[in-house]
Amino acid sequence: MVSVDKKSFKLAYINKFLELHGIDLKEGNNQQKYEALAGLIRDYVSRMWLKTNKKNNKSGQKQVYYFSMEFLMGRLLGDALLNLGIRDICKEALSELNIPLEELENLEHDQGLGNGGLGRLAACFLDSMASLNIPGNGCGIRYKYGFFEQKIVDGKQVEVSDDWLKEGNAWEMRKANKSEIVKFGGEVKVDYINNNLTFTHVNYEPVLAIPYDTPIVGYDNDVVNTLRLWSAEAVSNEFDFSSFSRGDFLKAIEYKNSIESISQVLYPEDSFYKGKILRLKQQYFFVSAGIQSIIRHFKKYGGNIEELDEKIAIHINDTHPTLAIPEIMRILVDEEGLDWNVAWRITTNTVSYTNHTILAEALEKWPIDMFKSLLPRIYMIVEEINKRYCEELWNRFQGQWQKISDMSIIADGQVKMAHLAIVGSHSVNGVAKLHTEILKKKEMSNFYYLYPNKFNNKTNGITHRRWLLKSNPKLTNLLKDTIGDSFIKHPTDLNNFQKYLSDDSVLEKLSRIKLENKKRLASTILKNQKIEVDPYSIFDVQVKRIHAYKRQILNCLRIMDLYNSLIDNPDKDIESRTFIFAGKAAPGYYLAKNTIELINSIAKTINNDSRVNNKIKVVFMENYNVSLAEQIIPGTDLSEQISTTTKEASGTSNMKFMMNGAVTIATLDGANIEIKDEVTDENIVIFGLTADEVLSYYRSGGYNSSEIYNSDIRVKRVVDDLVSGRYNPDKDRFRSIYENLVNYNDEFFVLKDFDSYVKAQNKIDMLYKDERRWQKMCGQNIAHSGIFSSDRTIEQYATGIWGSEVIYKNL
């Protein structure tokens, strides 16, 4: 904790402002005031950072490195103030200087170096590792441009580049003296020296990797861990610009740009793989730089390379950082001169892997030719790994050639990253119980049979510090006033809130807080989207990436059906609702972009129809990101988690919503199942096909969507309206959605689940009418959300996978 009183904080702030800007505080603008505040906080943090690093360097405690292509951090100032315990002092001190803290906080550009759930999980994990006093650091890429900004123009998504570093970044520290060289291309020279094969990488293109470190502040424990992000630069002039020495200045600049392009931009596809060479470069770039610097640091502080696996755990977030496995092998064998078998034991004991999806289109497979020419030595190592592994398979599965070829790391002209990740790590985990079961029984069943002990489940979590304490201070205060503040360090203590749910005055407060949060959201909607919504209506929210499997289209069809029934029967007794959507579509994903357009077309039609627009409204909020999520989620009544069962590995927004007292309408998919188990059937509304039913349809067929289209009059009406011109003058606008549903047999079972979804929504209406009942449901959700804190998840990773000591006490 930082111990500082208001008066000295004020003084320190004024000094910091002067030091940074050289002008009087009164003359400064808000951006300058923000920079001074962030600078001051960073000073406090730096002292603890140094202390943590010193402790780590000599404690001999196991260090965890979380490798991820994405870290969706959001804003960092509010987080730091909260975790340092000085938010109130800061707010009061600034307000005496007539500076509103929230305004400064809102000036900070979101650090959006991720697409969605996977990147946000990495960010929540960093917060939990620091707060649990686990020496755990992030390793990733410092993209110059993060996830694109979404604008909606004429109802369509337009992508604008995310120039997040334009105003500088107060939280990062460039560490030029800790740079590494990453080698691409060239050839491998093989020699036989002193009875040993040696491998020398020659004629390669060197790329300079510069680390930028961001402090990760633990909650109330003086721990500051590190997120290290790598940036690509051309190696300095005299070395490799020599080839341009005849004065070809423009060529030199071109070369420099081509190198820097490696860390230029985040790929905006979520759960989708495109075999782009730049992406493979990005992966090897940050993995190689990260592994080299970890081993360099380890040796510098006296580490014995043969004990690497006892002192270091490397976790790979999905297959994107899988090259960590051959990269460690390269260093151990080529540079440290270890025997292959010893190196392999150390490598596999060091690395653990999380699988995030079973969607086939997300599986990474690199063409051999591309892989080999970009990473010649790494390719040789992967070949050797594969050769030895296939020998093991031949012994184990004699004569089963098909199986062996299915399980091979290199096959069909491709390098299969998931296979390499499974073979080269000691732990493979799924992210929710159902997901892990599907991995074991179906998707990876061959591997599970071979390595049953590697497979385990770690259900995802979210940091309650950002998603409750920071985003919902009013609810946090009610919880503190009732159950005390032990839940902050022990989130399952939220259970204690249950006994207050028979107290009408508490329920009353709960619903008042929800209303206030809805009013705040309503004013953001008015400001951003120019749509007036009624905070007394049900706020029915689906915010997440736009994806066919997440089924925003199911939600759309049900809204269209509700609209029909209100036109048919103006006296129909329904609760008024505001349907809120937000989410980005990958720029090349036609169906997802078309879905956004459909939502906006429905919104335009319904919001302008005076027969219904006092009962229902539809809003699409632009540019979904972490900061917008922090505003939307506390103001939500109903959380839509309606993916096709088996497709959503876990989901994490489902957890954020329940923690903020929303009721969930859900399929039995991902972590929704575990949420249901926690809150019991009374406090969640479930609908749709079960996993077994979905898997059986995929396996044996038997689903015919046109039968439903032809037999359910409501379905026929709403599906026909996709192409009737009712929602868009261009009748063909949503033709492909129509075709997918009716003529291509509805891969995601939208029509199949339609009826049960409508019934579930009617049940929501009925439950909402009984105010006390509804408030109790909200309270039950809050009370059972503690288990979904990422503190629980990280403790399970630490003890079950990483073998790190979990020490809660302060330094």
Which residues are known to be catalytic?
356, 544-545, 550, 652, 656
Q: Please check whether residue 322 is in contact with residue 420, taking contact to mean a CB–CB distance below 8 angstroms.
A: yes
Binding segment for ligand PLP among 274-282, 330-338, 648-656, 758-766 (CB under 6 A)? Answer: 648-656
CB of 625 to ligand PLP, least distance (A): 5
Q: Near ligand PLP by CB under 6 A, which window of 29-37, 114-122, 152-160, 322-330?
A: 114-122
| Least distance (Å) between residue 639 CB and ligand PLP | 9
Give whichever of 114 and 376 is closer to ligand PLP, judged by the CB atom.
114
Do residues 257 and 234 touch, judged by C-beta distance below 8 A?
no
According to the binding rule CB under 6 A, does residue 635 interact with ligand PLP? Answer: no
Give the residue with the Cβ less far from ligand PLP, 656 or 733: 656
Closest distance between ligand PLP and the C-beta of residue 651, in Å? 4
Q: Min. distance of Cβ 785 from ligand PLP in angstroms?
A: 14
Dihedral over alpha carbons 653, 658, 659, 661 (to 10 degrees): 130
Complex with ligand PLP: residue 120 or 518, whichever CB lies closer: 120
Whether 317 contacts 126, CB under 8 Å: no
Per rule CB under 6 A, is residue 117 in the interface with ligand PLP?
A: yes
- When asked if residue 78 is in the footprint of ligand PLP (CB under 6 A), the reply is no
Between 120 and 183, CB nearer to ligand PLP: 120
Residues 790, 468: Cα–Cα separation, whole Å: 12
Closer CB to ligand PLP, 117 or 424, in the complex: 117
Region binding ligand PLP by CB under 6 A among candidate stretches 19-27, 156-164, 622-630, 773-781? 622-630
Tokens of 57: 């360097």
Site for ligand PLP contains 321 (CB under 6 A): no
Dihedral through CA 602, CA 604, CA 606, CA 611, nearest 10?
-160
- Per rule CB under 6 A, count of chain residues that contact ligand PLP: 13
Give yes or no for residue 138 binding ligand PLP (CB under 6 A).
no
CA distance 742 to 553: 13
Q: How many CB atoms lie within 10 A of CB 565?
A: 15
Chain residues 713-732 in contact with ligand PLP, contact rule CB under 6 A: none
Q: Of 266, 378, 629, 694, which one interacts with ligand PLP (CB under 6 A)?
A: 629
Measured in whole angstroms, the distance separating CA 482 from the mean position of its chain's CA atoms is: 32
- 273: helix, coil or strand? coil
Q: Which of 56, 625, 728, 761 binds ligand PLP (CB under 6 A)?
A: 625
Stretch that binds ligand PLP, among 115-123, 203-211, 331-339, 775-783 (CB under 6 A): 115-123
CB of 365 or CB of 470, closer to ligand PLP? 470
789 binds ligand PLP (CB under 6 A): no
- Dig out the tokens for 789 from the structure: 């804190």
Token pair of 577 as six digits: 């609702």
CA distance 596 to 109: 25
Q: Which is nearer to ligand PLP, 117 or 635 (CB)?
A: 117
Residue 268 touches ligand PLP, criterion: CB under 6 A: no
Distances from the Cα of 205 to the Cαs of 177, 183, 188, 291, 598, in angstroms?
Answer: 21, 6, 13, 19, 47
Binding span for ligand PLP by CB under 6 A among 51-59, 325-333, 364-372, 621-629: 621-629
Stretch of residues binding ligand PLP (CB under 6 A), selected from 332-340, 357-365, 368-376, 618-626 = 618-626
Would you call 587 helix, strand, or coil by DSSP?
Answer: coil
b (16+ CB within 10 A) / e for 642-675: bbbbbbbbbbbbbbbbbbbbbbbbbbbbbbbbbb
Task: Cite the DSSP H helix spans in 65-167.
Answer: 77-84, 87-96, 101-107, 117-131
Q: Which is nearer to ligand PLP, 117 or 376 (CB)?
A: 117
- Round to whole Å and give the CA distance between 2 and 546: 42
Task: State in angstroms the smallest separation of the CB of 111 from ligand PLP.
Answer: 12
Q: How far from 490 is each of 68, 78, 487, 504, 714, CA to CA, in Å?
A: 27, 21, 5, 26, 48
Q: Does 120 bind ligand PLP (CB under 6 A)?
A: yes
Q: Residue 11's closest CA among 105, 73, 125, 89?
A: 89
Cα gap 771→504, rounded to integer Å: 11
Between 419 and 584, CB nearer to ligand PLP: 584
Q: Measured from the CB of residue 75, what is the shortest distance to ligand PLP in angstroms? A: 12
Rounded Cα distance, 493 and 504, in Å: 21
In the complex, what is the shortest distance from the CB of residue 339 to ligand PLP, in angstroms, rounded to a whole number?
44
Are the C-beta atoms of 101 and 92 separated by less than 8 Å? Answer: no
The residue from 355, 472, 652, 789 that contacts ligand PLP (CB under 6 A) is 652
133 secondary structure, DSSP code: T
CB 155 within 8 A of CB 618: no
DSSP conformation class of 249: H
The CA distance from 553 to 585, in Å, is 13
**CA 211, CA 208: separation in Å to the nearest integer?**
10
Least Å from the CB of residue 607 to ligand PLP: 25
Q: Which amino acid is at 206?
A: P
Question: What is the b/e burial string over 771-803, where b = at least 16 CB atoms within 10 angstroms of the residue's CB?
Answer: eeebbbbbbbbbbbbbbbbbbbbbbbbbeebbe
Single residue of 28, 78, 116, 268 touching ligand PLP by CB under 6 A? 116
Cβ of residue 656: shortest distance to ligand PLP, in angstroms? 6
In the complex with ligand PLP, the residue whose CB is nearer, 348 or 627, is 627
Contacts of 701 (CB under 8 A, 6+ apart): none
Tell me the window of 557-565, 592-600, 625-633, 724-732 that interacts with ligand PLP (CB under 6 A).
625-633
Residues 665-704 that bind ligand PLP (CB under 6 A): none
Query: Which H/E stretch holds residue 578?
Result: strand 577-582
Q: Indicate whether 626 belongs to the interface with ligand PLP (CB under 6 A).
A: yes
* Helices 30-59 + 6-21 axis angle, to 10: 110
Here the tokens at position 483 are 């159950």
Taking the least distance from each CB to ligand PLP, the nearer of 514 and 544 is 544
CB of 232 to ligand PLP, least distance (A): 26
Nearer to ligand PLP, 63 or 639 (CB): 639
| Minimum CB distance to ligand PLP, residue 643 (Å) | 9
- By CB under 6 A, tell whether 653 contacts ligand PLP: yes
**Residues between 523 and 562 with contacts to ligand PLP, criterion CB under 6 A:** 544-545
Cβ proximity to ligand PLP: between 633 and 715 the closer is 633
Return the C-alpha torsion angle 753, 754, 757, 762, nearest 10. Answer: -150
651 binds ligand PLP (CB under 6 A): yes
Q: Rounded to the nearest whole angstrom, what is the least distance from the CB of residue 117 to ligand PLP in the complex?
A: 4
Among the candidate windows 160-168, 192-200, 469-477, 623-631, which touches ligand PLP by CB under 6 A?
Answer: 623-631
Closest approach of ligand PLP to the CB of residue 359, in Å = 13
Q: Give me the residues that bind ligand PLP (CB under 6 A), please.
A: 116-117, 120, 544-545, 624-626, 629, 651-653, 656
